[in-house]
Amino acid sequence: MRKKLIAVVGPTAVGKTALAIQLAQHYKTVVLSADSRQFYREMNIGTAKPDSSELNAVPHYFIDSHSVESVYSAGDFERDALQLLQELFQTHDQVILVGGSGLFVRALTEGLDDLPQVPKEIRDRLNQQLAEDGLAKLQDRLKAIDPEHYAVMDFQNPQRVVRALEVFETTGNSIAFYQKGKQSARNFDVVTIGLNTDRAFLYERINKRVDKMMHDGLLDEAKELQLFRYHPALQTVGYAELFDHFEGKISLEEAVDKIKQNSRRYAKRQITWFKKYGSTHWFEPSELQEILQFLNQSEAS
């Protein structure tokens, strides 16, 4: 029997962490995080990391594994996670992967596409524009030249916006043109469980989560991270809005409202991504028994 990677995906605040822990306890296995921000030790409140009781419930990997002083890419994650899986599969038949960062999940489960080489001067110029003019101007430009890809990408991530622009400037093609390669061979099977629920209920959970983050000290956490504000992981929902507040662009109340609004928009894009890529089997977060029954059937088939 081939080893199995069970990927738990879906929008922010839907309940992926809780399900991943339940599955890991059921299979007596471990959890790998594919959240592009939970890698960083300094980013805690704004990334909704598992709390100490959750981390102690089952072994977790790729949480607090790096510092914001460096950038940890999807390619880095693919390399390291594949190597770790080879070790874990020696003692486990199943391993749980959890996260809402579609590119990182795809990197491990399918492999990344071979994108064209980009001249250094184009990359340097775009990064300089990002630092001087901010992300919004680059977002507007990408939306104008490549609206189809912009509609499904994480356009709050500056690294991905710059990457899409540099590919377009180099080739004249959308980056999506190069993201249609064949899946890379894996020596394990992948089963993807998608969690989704009523949109109004999900949005209510998102709003309450943001309120809890602010109560728990997200404002102070963002203040301590201002030095790294141009790090890709910090040009994201929950931090970028507070950086704008610190610069006097918006009030704190407006920043919190924008965090909620952008989190809801991000959740919508996450659902779109996971419906588009891979064979995702969708369940309500509360349907643990149905999920286990489905996984048992997939093992038997």
Check whether 98 is labelled as a binding-site residue. no
Quote the number of domains for the chain: 2
The answer on 203 and 90 residing in a single domain is yes
Q: What are phi and psi of 268, to 5 degrees?
A: -65, -40
Check whether 17 is labelled as a binding-site residue. yes
The residue-averaged pLDDT of 33-37 equals 96
Band of pLDDT at residue 173, cut at 50, 70 and 90: confident
pLDDT recorded at residue 278: 66
pLDDT recorded at residue 266: 94
The answer on 98 and 32 residing in a single domain is yes
**Who has greater pLDDT, 130 or 263?**
263
The answer on 194 and 107 residing in a single domain is yes
Last residue in a domain, options 162, 178, 194: 178
Instruction: Give the integer Cα–Cα distance in Å for 163 and 159.
Output: 6
pLDDT recorded at residue 250: 97
pLDDT recorded at residue 293: 97
Range with the lowest mean pLDDT among 11-15, 80-84, 118-122?
118-122
| Burial annotation 250-263 (CB, 10 A radius, 16+ → b, else e) | beeeebbebbbbbb
For 190-224, how does the pLDDT look when each residue is reduced to its tens digit (9 = 90+)? 999 999 999 999 999 999 999 999 999 999 999 99
The answer on 163 and 206 residing in a single domain is no
The answer on 96 and 139 residing in a single domain is no
Check whether 116 is labelled as a binding-site residue. no
The residue range of the domain holding 158 is 120-178
pLDDT recorded at residue 116: 78
Nearest alpha carbon to residue 17 among 43, 3, 38: 38
Range with the lowest mean pLDDT among 46-50, 156-160, 176-180, 200-204?
176-180
Q: Could you tell me the pTM of the whole model? A: 0.83
Check whether 13 is labelled as a binding-site residue. yes
Instruction: Give the integer Cα–Cα distance in Å for 156 and 139.
Output: 8
Check whether 12 is labelled as a binding-site residue. yes
pLDDT recorded at residue 182: 53
Instruction: Give the integer Cα–Cα distance in Å for 192 and 294.
Output: 11
Beta bridge partners of 258: none
Instruction: Give the integer Cα–Cα distance in Å for 118 and 115.
Output: 9
- Please tell me which of 120-134, 192-206, 223-237, 277-291 the model is most confident about, judged by mean pLDDT: 192-206
Beta strands in the chain (DSSP E): 4-9, 31-33, 60-61, 94-98, 189-195, 280-283
Band of pLDDT at residue 232, cut at 50, 70 and 90: confident
Residue 181 has pLDDT above 70, yes or no: no
Q: What is the CATH number of the domain that holds 130?
A: 1.10.20.140
Asked if 3 and 86 touch (Cβ cutoff 8 Å), the reply is no
Last residue in a domain, options 178, 196, 220: 178
**Who has greater pLDDT, 276 or 33?**
33
